[in-house]
Chains A and B, each alone.
Chain A
Amino acid sequence: MRIVVLLSAGLHPVSGRTVLQRLEAQAIRLGRSLMDDAGDEILGLHAGPDPSRVADAFGYGLDRMICCRIADGDDPVPSLSAALADLAPDLVLAGRRSQGADETGLVPYQVARDLGLPLAADAAGLMRQGFRIVVDQALPKGVRRRSAIGLPALVSVHSAAPPPLPFVFAAMRRGRADERPGIAAPVAPRDLEERPHRPRARIIGQGGGSAAERLKAATETAKAGGDVLVDPSPDEAARAVVDYLRRIGALGPAPR
């Protein structure tokens, strides 16, 4: 099985230096956990001007890397699709969103469309089942949605996936990216205005309403108007709590 991890050069949110995104390091680990055969291989694919930007990936467990040379700011999709068509991998792993470029998270979807691959989003765990792969999709509140898709496929990784492998400095120093020319695809300038970030308040609770109502909601305790049991015996209190939790479904039904 051949696994390709798409590596974008992310900008560190504080220092602004290029770093490997944590999610992509997690994708490398997920990919490695699927390899059980000596013939299996995992390689990285990056489209950008400088492979050293993603060299950290070697330290996180990557064996080989291919870098398609394109100018800074070019659209990486044509180069990535062409390289993947060439490599014919069984599984392509990608992050959710890049950091520092456009950050739309569209690249994996465009690549999947170009190659005609099925795409599964937000994988927190992967399992191999012959020619299929079982994807545990991470949903809010820790719920996982398990489904199977046929290989070859493209899977994007969620931050709930296992943490990256420990970083090995020597492996990072040893790694050499295999460079090849990419496909130049300048992006048409778009009507975007950029300005320094100004933090905006999150809305807490229901939101909306007048300023006075929002202030009230944030500072005053809303009366729930619920039941109050004053000085019940411990057993009465326990019964009331357990019954209530059962009624709202927080606690499973009584065993019988």
Chain B
Amino acid sequence: MTRPRIDPRQAREAHRVISVGRSRFDLAAKPVGVSRRPRRDPRRERAELMVADAGRMRLDRARPSGMAQPLPQREAAAAAPSVRIIENPVFLVLVIADPIENGTLSAVDRQALGAARALAGGEGGVVLCAEALTEVAGRAGADRLITAPAGLSDPETRAVALEELVGLLQPRHVILPETADGGDLARRLAVRLGEPLFAGAEQVSPRGLVRRVRGRQVDQRAMPPRIVTVEPDMVAPHSGIAHEARPLEVDVRWPGAMVTPAERIRPDAASLSLAEADFVAAVGNGISDLEAFRSLVAALGATPGASRMVCDAGLMPRAAQVGASGTVLSADCYLALGIAGAPQHLQGIAGCRHVVAVNTDLHAAMIERAELAIVADAQAVMPAILRLLAEEERQA
């Protein structure tokens, strides 16, 4: 690409203002003779060089900019089927999902499916056994789907049914997430089948599994046995092309009634630790009235949190700090009052599904992150919420 060369002396000369005495130049004025070169937008030029659907970011610098079509061979790739079908799997990998919590597969179940995909490779089939027919199963990497009846909370009856399922399908591997339910089930199954268990795999490939042992100072590596549990948040979920998730009918006698009825007890929000809490309301530097905040937290039944500024100032305990150097939340809902949303803070709420922000600054990062953003004075909103809740209480 050649642009006309500029002679700096000549360019300067074009700015000369006619005057007596010393020479003067008006650099702000548009020169008469010399035409300015058009301004470039480097971002747009770069976007035009980008190769579409290349999996990772690729720039095709050989292409003259302004030609925004993808390369021809990329078009062929785009025409490939959007669902991967494995008709006759050479072997099976069975994944047992945890009891479904809110109508969809949990993140840990997806990671277990990702591990199963890694073990199944191109010719193995991944069978997911989950409670409800979840439409996300295919995208998470399942080739077949077995629906288990919901509400089987007694672990021993689940283990009996699972043993039968394993006998029927004869999978090469059985993968479970290392959670309260999954880990328990995996051990019951391992003992029933009399087979070894690889507990808490952190790295999964057909050539070997890796886990941490011995006070976490040693990595143990082994060939994948039949029963494997996958450590949460260590194995990437399946992110490629969706699989089929074809429903599979199996002749398993699922137990009818539970042997021991179980009752779920919801915790008291105030006594929960921040990492365990489901609904967190947090206070930032924009708030000075902490008394109102405390009564708001009590009225909403939330667990209190804070940004680092507030904890550094000693206004809230360090245990309440949310963020990269505080607690990473597992909460479902987050209410941020007067928090700007620094990256270190946002890392702590990366997993929250619902975020509500109250901030006076329309351009705060927290407002952008929030599902419901309110640009208002939080000091005034807090008593208003308290009044509203009290009003409702009084009317009831």
Interface residues of A (CB under 8 A from B): 11-14, 16, 97, 99-100, 102-106, 109-110, 112-113, 118-119, 121-122, 136-149, 190-198, 200, 202-212, 218-219, 221-224, 226-232, 234-235, 237-242, 244-245, 248, 250-252, 254-256
Give the chain B neighbours of A192 by CB distance below 8 A: 220-222
Q: Does B385 contact A (CB under 8 A)?
A: yes
Bound form: Cα–Cα A230–B374 in Å: 6
Q: Does B218 contact A (CB under 8 A)?
A: yes
Show the binding face of B for A, using Cβ within 8 Å. Answer: 55-57, 107, 111, 114, 153-156, 179-181, 183-184, 187-188, 190-192, 196-197, 199, 202-203, 208, 212-223, 233-239, 260-267, 272-273, 276-279, 300-302, 328, 330, 332-333, 335, 341, 343, 346-347, 350-351, 353-356, 358, 362, 365, 367-377, 380-381, 383-385, 387-389, 392-393, 395-396
In the complex, residue of chain B having the shortest beta-carbon distance to the beta carbon of A202: B233
Interface contact A110-B267, CB-CB below 8 Å = no
Contact of B264 among A109, A143, A237, A252 (CB under 8 A): A143
- B384, A235: Cβ atoms under 8 Å? yes
> Contacting A239 at CB < 8 Å: which of B260, B370, B380, B388?
B388
Q: Contact check, B236 vs A207: say whether CB atoms are below 8 A apart.
A: yes
Contact among B218, B264, B347, B376 for A144, CB-based, below 8 A: B264
Q: A232 CA to B374 CA in the complex, in Å?
A: 8
With a CB–CB cut-off of 8 A, which chain A residues contact B376? Answer: 229, 231-232, 234, 237
Taking CB as reference atom, which chain B residue is nearest A132? Answer: B260
Say whether A244 contacts B356, CB under 8 Å. yes
Known A-B contacts A208-B236, A229-B375; A234 and B383 likewise in contact (beta carbons under 8 Å): yes
Select B388's contact among A145, A193, A195, A242, beta carbons within 8 Å.
A242
Per the bound structure, the CA–CA distance linking A94 and B395 in Å amounts to 52
Known: A105-B199, A109-B190, A196-B219. A241 touches B372 (CB 8 A): yes
Q: Looking at the complex, which one of A14, A143, A226, A241 makes contact with B358 (CB distance below 8 Å)?
A: A241
Chain B residues contacting A12 (CB-CB under 8 Å) are: 215
Within the assembled complex, what's the spacing in Å between the Cα atoms of A12 and B385? 49
Q: CA of A105 to CA of B190 in the docked complex: distance in angstroms? A: 11
Contact of A242 with B221 in the complex, beta carbons under 8 Å: no
Are the CB atoms of B180 and A104 closer together than 8 Å? no
Residues of B within 8 A of A212 (CB): 56-57
Using known A-B contacts A204-B350, A229-B374, A234-B384, determine if residue A109 contacts B277 with beta carbons closer than 8 Å.
no
Q: Is the CB of B365 within 8 A of A221?
A: yes
| Contacting residues, chain A, for B356 (C-beta < 8 A) | 241, 244-245
**Would you call A227 and B264 a contact (CB within 8 A)?**
no
Pick the contact of A248 from B354, B369, B383 — CB < 8 Å? B354
The distance in angstroms between the C-alpha atoms of A185 and B215, with both chains bound, is 24
Which residue of A146, A195, A206, A238 contacts B384 across the interface (Cβ within 8 Å)? A238
Q: If A197-B216, A241-B356 touch, does A203 touch B180 (CB 8 Å cutoff)? A: no
Please state if B279 and A250 are interface contacts (CB–CB under 8 Å): yes
Residue contact B220 to A237, C-beta cutoff 8 Å = no
Other-chain residue from A11, A194, A205, A240 in contact with B374 (beta carbon distance below 8 A): A240
Q: 14 A-B Cβ contacts within 8 A?
A: A13-B216, A100-B215, A102-B213, A105-B183, A113-B191, A118-B156, A119-B188, A145-B262, A147-B262, A194-B220, A194-B221, A224-B355, A226-B372, A227-B371
User: Looking at A137, A142, A196, which has the most chain B CB atoms within 10 Å of its CB?
Assistant: A142
Considering the complex, give the chain B residue whose CB is closest to the CB of A208. B239
Nearest CB of A to B155, in Å: 7
Report B-chain residues with C-beta under 8 Å of the C-beta of A202.
233-234
A231: chain B residues within 8 A (beta carbon):
375-376
Whole-angstrom distance between the alpha carbons of A252 and B333 in the complex? 13
| B197 with A122: CB separation less than 8 A | no
Kindly list chain A residues whose C-beta atoms are within 8 Å of the C-beta of B56.
210-212
Closest 10 CB pairs of A and B: A208-B239, A13-B215, A142-B267, A226-B371, A255-B396, A238-B384, A234-B384, A250-B333, A234-B380, A147-B262
Given A140-B179, A226-B373, A239-B388, answer yes or no on A206-B237 (Cβ-Cβ < 8 Å).
yes
Whole-angstrom distance between the Cβ of A163 and the nearest chain B Cβ? 14
Contact B369 A245 (CB under 8 A): no
Given A227-B372, A229-B373, A241-B358, 9 new contacts (CB under 8 A): A13-B217, A104-B197, A136-B265, A137-B262, A200-B202, A203-B111, A203-B233, A221-B365, A242-B389
Q: Are A105 and B372 in contact (CB under 8 A)?
A: no
Neighbouring A residues of B192 by C-beta, 8 Å = 113
Do A122 and B184 touch across chains, with their CB atoms under 8 A apart?
yes
CA A143 to CA B223, docked complex, whole Å: 36
Q: How far is the CA of A209 from the CA of B240 in the complex (A)?
A: 8
Complex Cα gap A136–B191 (Å): 24
Q: Per a CB cutoff under 8 Å, which of B188, B199, B260 touches A148?
A: B260
Task: Flag if B381 contacts A109 (CB, 8 Å).
Answer: no
A147 and B263 form a contact (CB under 8 A): yes
Contact of A191 with B223 in the complex, beta carbons under 8 Å: yes
- Tell me how far the C-beta of B1 lies from the nearest C-beta in chain A, rounded to whole angstroms: 26
Which of B180, B333, B381, B389 lies in contact with A234, CB distance below 8 A? Answer: B381
What's the Cα separation between A49 and B37 when bound, in Å? 85
Check if B372 sits within 8 Å of A104, measured CB to CB: no
- Min Cβ gap A231→B in Å is 6
What's the least CB distance linking A168 to chain B, in Å? 26
B219 and A198 contacting across the interface, CB-CB below 8 Å = yes
In contact, B381 and A241 (Cβ under 8 angstroms): yes
Assess the B277–A196 pair: CB atoms within 8 A.
Answer: no
Q: Give bound CA distance, A193 to B57, whole Å.
A: 37
Name the contact of B217 in the complex, choosing from A196, A211, A222 (C-beta under 8 A). A196
Chain A residues, CB < 8 A from B187: 104-106, 109
Report yes or no: A254 in contact with B392, Cβ–Cβ below 8 A. yes
When C-beta atoms are compared, the residue in chain B nearest to A120 turns out to be B155
